[in-house]
Structure 1
Amino acid sequence: MSAAIDIIVPEGVGEDADDEIVLAAWYFEDGEAVSAEADICQLMVSKVSFDVMAPAAGRLRHVAAVEDIVTTGQVIARIEPA
Structure 2
Amino acid sequence: MPSSMTSIENGKKINEKRILEHELKQMKKGQSAYKQQTNSHIFFKEDVTKVFSECKKSLDELIEEYKQCELDEETTEEGGDADTLNF
Query: Which protein has the bigger strand share?
Result: 1
Task: Please give the TM-score of this superposition, normalised by the length of structure 2.
Answer: 0.24
Task: Please give the TM-score of this superposition, normalised by the length of structure 1.
Answer: 0.25
**Structure whose CA Rg is larger:** 2
The structure with higher relative contact order (CA 8 Å, sep 6+) is 1
Query: Which protein has the bigger helix share?
Result: 2
